Amino acid sequence: MTGSPVVLLTGFEPFGGAATNPSWAVASRVADTWAGPGVVHARRVPVTFADAPRAVLDAVAQTRPDAVVMLGLHGGARELRLERVAVNVADARIPDNAGAQPVDEPVVPGGPVGYWSTLPLRAALDAVRDTGVPVALSPSAGTYVCNATFYAVQDALGRGEAPRVSGFVHVPPVAGERVTDDDGVAADGTPGVPLDDLVRGVAAVVGAVVDELRS
């Protein structure tokens, strides 16, 4: 592509009684400290099945990015998780922030079983490994709001409503913080990963995406 790539980086508001959400802390810090190439915009989205996908797509309309990297919290993770697949099922063990708790419902009625990430996952994996931050490929994004948002955005991508490069990354808890993950599992924050490390890791993912866009 020509010009300067634009990347939209999204993170979620707090949920499950937590005071903060590392996904938004990381997204906002990466955007604030990004020195290029390209431009990174950060947007915070609600933890609700009904509103999160639309909030991301509204941000797409506002920022007109070349790529979307969505972040969410996985309380049981101990590394960045680069998600391969979004699945067409919403099944919540805990209510979302609007009180919705779907069970075995499709994210998009009549939609395909799943959508692949279109991020350069292998390049991103290598880039994060080079920083020393723990990282792994993950087979799917679960069945909570994170997955529903990932799926809905990929579905929109297929209909021309979103950039061709789009995907999801789960971040682990920040070291020392107690969180509740999207399965309702309490994590005591030990060991966790330092926030500065998560910022470096996600910046490496964004860098791999920018390199893909510029190639």
71 within a domain of the structure (yes/no): yes
Dump pLDDT digits (tens) for 98-111.
Answer: 999 999 999 999 99
Q: Is residue 90 part of a domain?
A: yes
Ranges 21-25, 58-62, 120-124, 154-158: which has the least confidence? 154-158
Digit-coded pLDDT (tens) for 108-166: 999 999 999 999 999 999 999 999 999 999 999 999 999 999 999 999 988 887 688 99
Q: Is residue 195 part of a domain?
A: no
Residues 6+ apart with CB under 8 A from 144: 90, 91, 92, 93, 96, 182, 183
Q: How confident is the model at residue 185 (pLDDT cuts 50, 70, 90)?
A: very low
At residue 179 the predicted structure's pLDDT band, cuts being 50, 70 and 90, is low
Q: Using the predicted structure, report yes or no on whether residue 184 has a pLDDT greater than 70.
A: no
**Domain assignment of residue 31, yes or no:** yes
Print the SS3 string covering the chain: CCCCCEEEEEEECCCCCCCCCHHHHHHHHHHHHCCCCCEEEEEEECCCCCCHHHHHHHHHHHHCCCEEEEEEECCCCCCEEEECEEECCECCCCCCCCCCCCCCECCCCCCCCEEECCCCHHHHHHHHHHHCCCEEEECCCCCCHHHHHHHHHHHHHHCCCCCCEEEEEEECCECCCCEECCCCCEECCCCCECHHHHHHHHHHHHHHHHHHHHC
pLDDT at residue 27, as a whole number: 98
Closest by Cα among 201, 188, 212, 177 to 80: 201
Classify residue 163: in a domain, yes or no: yes
Q: Using a pLDDT cut of 90, give the percent of the chain over it.
A: 81
Which has more pLDDT, 49 or 188?
49
In a domain? residue 83: yes
Q: How confident is the model at residue 16 (pLDDT cuts 50, 70, 90)?
A: confident
Let me know if residue 189 belongs to a domain: no
**pLDDT number for residue 183:** 47
Q: Which residue range forms the structural domain that includes residue 139?
A: 6-177+210-214
Residues annotated as catalytic (active site), given as ranges: 83, 146, 170
- 1: how many CB neighbours lie within 10 A of its CB? 9
Q: How many domains does the chain have?
A: 1
pLDDT band with cut points at 50, 70 and 90 for residue 17: confident
Q: CATH number of the domain at 164, please.
A: 3.40.630.20
* Domain membership flag for residue 80: yes
